[in-house]
Amino acid sequence: MQRLLLTLRYDGTRYHGWQVQKNAVTVQQTLQDAVERVTGVRSGITGCSRTDAGVHADMFCCTTDTESPLRGDDMISALNANLPRDIAVYDCREVPNTFHPRYSAVRKRYLYRIWNDRARNPFWENHAVHITRPLDADMLNQAAAGFVGRHDFVSFCAAGSSVEDTVRNVLHCGVAREGGLVTFSVEADGFLYNMVRIMAGTLLEIAAGKRPCDSIPEIIAARSRDAAGATAPAKGLILSRVYYNDVK
């Protein structure tokens, strides 16, 4: 039995997130169906994260254990022939049986995208939140710097989460503009449930003048979900990269 690490991209618009659900179509279930058609066995698949409904991924890593002789490009081609157009595997490699796509990850990077223009853009309709009022990306970049460091991010965790350890180390955080597209990027050693969407929602409230630019440290110190902003819509979020020490 060999453990394969599969790396894929997906548009999450028509999926109810990654994880299998009884009465909804998910990315994990769709990939399991493809693996079963290729190998003849319905194998378990373990993912690096649990993305919500409507969230996208440019680099999502998952593992499956298989006795199939298919490897590398042959497995990639076979899986893609059995996957819908909005999911694509682009890397397949053998990893040790001790490798875990979630717990072996040392950090992840997420992007949150905002289309900032008076007119909506059909190309970004399902992949960015449309905000018509002008956003000051430089000011938001200054505000986002308050997230950097090792903090208790419980204020930026969805209410009702069962996670006990809410301390995370944010290694990079910033906001940049390219034309009409404003992108919030954040890289950390781990993320809490809805953490990036709450961070983005808080920045949007700062942009709207509802909070001061330097309010992030105070919100972190409050250690209360009520202190932070609203959860931004899922469609603007994309898992951009997953980092492993022993996998390039």
Residues labelled catalytic: 52
Three-class SS of residue 212?
A: coil
> Kind and range of the H or E element at 34?
helix 27-39
DSSP bridge pairs for 74:
none
Distance of CA 125 to CAs 76, 88, 131, 232, Å?
A: 29, 21, 12, 15
Residue with tokens 């700062």: 206
Q: What is the CA radius of gyration of the chain?
A: 19
DSSP code of residue 76: H
* Cα–Cα distance for residue pair 113/49, rounded to 1 Å: 19
